[in-house]
Structure 1
Amino acid sequence: MVHFTGDSATGQRLYLAHSTDGLHWNDLNAGAPVLHSPIGTKGVRDPALIRSPDGSRYWIIATDLCVRCGSTYTNGSPSFVVWESTDLVTWSQPWLINVAGAIPGGRNAWAPEAIWNPETNDYVLYWATNASLNGVFKYRIYSARTTDFRTITTPQVWIDPPGTTPVVDTQMTELPPGVGNYRYIRVSGDGQNTVEGTNSILGTWTNLGNLSSIGLTGNVVEGPVWMKFRDRDEWALYIDHLQNGVREYRPILTTNPSSVSTYQLQAPASYDMGGTPKRHGAIMTLTAAEEGRLLARWPNTPAQRLQSYNFQDRYVRHLNTDVRIDPNVSPADDAQFRLRPGLAGTVSFESVNFPGYFLRHAGYDFQLAYNNGTAQFAADATFRQVAGLADPTWSSFQSYNYPDRYIRHYAYQLRLDPITTTTARGDATFRVTN
Structure 2
Amino acid sequence: MSRILTRLAAVLATAGLLFSTWSAATPKQAAALDPFTGYLMAHFTGESATGQQIHLAHSEDGLRWTDLNNGGLVLRSTVGTRGVRDPALVRSPAGDRYWIIATDLCIGCGQDWNDAQNNGSRNLVVWESADLVTWSAPWLLNVAGTIPDGRNAWAPEAIWNPATGDYVLYWATKATLNGVFKHRVYHARTTNFRSITTPQVYIDRGGSQETIDTQIVEVPAGVGNHRYVRASRDDQITIEGSDSVLGPWTRLGDLAAIGLTGAQVEGPMWLRFNNRDEWTLYLDQYASGRGYLPVLTVNPSSPGSYRIPASGSYHLGGTRKRHGSILNLTAAEQNRVLARWRGTAVNRIQAYSHQDRYVRHADYDVRLDANVSPEQDAQFRLVPGLTGGAGTISFQSVNFPNHYLRHYGFDFRLDAHDGTTTFAEDASFRQVAGLANSSWVSFRSVNYPDRHIRHNNFLLRLDLISDARGRDDATFRLTS
- The two structures have a TM-score, normalised by structure 1, of 0.71
Return the letter of the residue paired with 1:292.
N
**Residue number among 312, 323, 339 corresponding to 1:269 in the alignment:** 312
Partner SS, residue 251 of structure 2: strand
Question: Would you say the 8 A contact 2:188–2:196 is kept in 1?
Answer: yes
Question: Would you say the 8 A contact 2:50–2:386 is kept in 1?
Answer: no
Q: 1:332 to 1:152 in 2, by over 3 A?
A: closer
Over aligned residue pairs, what C-alpha RMSD do you find?
2.5
Compute the displacement of 1:268 (Å).
2.0
Question: Would you say the 8 A contact 2:168–2:189 is kept in 1?
Answer: yes
Indicate the residue corresponding to 2:300 in structure 1. 257
Deviations along 1:182-208, one digit per CA (max 9) or x if unpaired, are 000001111121100000111210100
**Residue number among 154, 159, 174 corresponding to 1:110 in the alignment:** 154
Alignment of 1:286-325 (within 5 A): 286-301=329-344
Compute the displacement of 1:21 (Å).
0.4
**Residue number among 32, 45, 48 corresponding to 1:5 in the alignment:** 45
Partner SS, residue 292 of structure 1: helix
Return the letter of the residue paired with 2:125.
V
**Residue number among 336, 349, 373 corresponding to 2:392 in the alignment:** 336
Return the letter of the residue paired with 2:304.
S
**Residue number among 273, 278, 289 corresponding to 1:246 in the alignment:** 289
Compute the displacement of 1:89 (Å).
0.6
**Residue number among 245, 251, 255 corresponding to 1:211 in the alignment:** 255
Compute the displacement of 1:330 (Å).
11
Q: Distance in 1 between matches of 2:215 and 2:390?
A: 37
Q: Distance in 1 between matches of 2:388 and 2:100?
A: 29
Question: Would you say the 8 A contact 1:222–1:240 is kept in 2?
Answer: yes
Q: Distance in 1 between matches of 2:386 and 2:91?
A: 39
Q: Distance in 2 between matches of 1:247 and 1:140?
A: 26
What stretches of structure 1 move > 6 A for 4+ residues in a row? none
Partner SS, residue 283 of structure 1: strand
Q: 1:7 to 1:302 in 2, by over 3 A?
A: farther
Alignment of 1:61-80 (within 5 A): 61-75=101-115, 76-80=120-124
Compute the displacement of 1:332 (Å).
8.4
**Residue number among 84, 95, 110 corresponding to 2:128 in the alignment:** 84
Alignment pair present for 1:40 and 2:80: yes
Q: 1:190 to 1:331 in 2, by over 3 A?
A: closer
Question: Would you say the 8 A contact 2:214–2:268 is kept in 1?
Answer: yes
Alignment pair present for 1:233 and 2:280: no
Between stretches 266-275 and 13-22, larger displacement belongs to: 266-275
Compute the displacement of 1:162 (Å).
1.7
Q: Distance in 2 between matches of 1:209 and 1:80?
A: 31
**Residue number among 39, 53, 57 corresponding to 2:97 in the alignment:** 57
Q: Distance in 1 between matches of 2:388 and 2:191?
A: 42
Return the letter of the residue paired with 1:252.
V
Alignment pair present for 1:196 and 2:245: no
Structure 1 unaligned regions, length at least 5: 305-328, 339-387, 396-429
Compute the displacement of 1:241 (Å).
1.4
Partner SS, residue 113 of structure 1: strand
Q: 1:102 to 1:432 in 2, by over 3 A?
A: farther
Deviations along 1:252-286, one digit per CA (max 9) or x if unpaired, are 00010011100002232221001011000110110
Partner SS, residue 126 of structure 1: strand
Structure 2 unaligned regions, length at least 5: 1-40, 348-384, 395-433, 442-474
Partner SS, residue 152 of structure 1: coil
Question: Would you say the 8 A contact 1:74–1:108 is kept in 2?
Answer: no
Alignment pair present for 1:280 and 2:326: no
Q: Distance in 1 between matches of 2:343 and 2:387?
A: 22
Return the letter of the residue paired with 1:336.
T
Deviations along 1:97-132, one digit per CA (max 9) or x if unpaired, are 011112011011000000000000000000000000
Return the letter of the residue paired with 2:169.
L
Question: Would you say the 8 A contact 1:303–1:336 is kept in 2?
Answer: no
Q: Distance in 2 between matches of 1:393 and 1:93?
A: 37
Compute the displacement of 1:336 (Å).
2.2
Question: Would you say the 8 A contact 1:303–1:337 is kept in 2?
Answer: no
Question: Would you say the 8 A contact 2:241–2:252 is kept in 1?
Answer: yes
Deviations along 1:404-433, one digit per CA (max 9) or x if unpaired, are xxxxxxxxxxxxxxxxxxxxxxxxxx9985
Question: Would you say the 8 A contact 1:42–1:66 is kept in 2?
Answer: yes
Partner SS, residue 261 of structure 1: helix
Partner SS, residue 34 of structure 1: coil
**Residue number among 110, 123, 130 corresponding to 2:174 in the alignment:** 130
Compute the displacement of 1:211 (Å).
1.1
Indicate the residue corresponding to 1:310 in structure 2. none
Residues paired across the two proteins, number: 326
Question: Would you say the 8 A contact 1:43–1:65 is kept in 2?
Answer: yes
Deviations along 1:17-38, one digit per CA (max 9) or x if unpaired, are 1010000000011111000101
Q: 1:210 to 1:154 in 2, by over 3 A?
A: same
Structure 1 or 2: more helix by fraction = 2
Compute the displacement of 1:394 (Å).
5.7
Q: Distance in 1 between matches of 2:165 and 2:213?
A: 25
Q: Distance in 1 between matches of 2:175 and 2:478?
A: 53
Identity within the alignment, %: 60
Question: Would you say the 8 A contact 1:185–1:195 is kept in 2?
Answer: yes
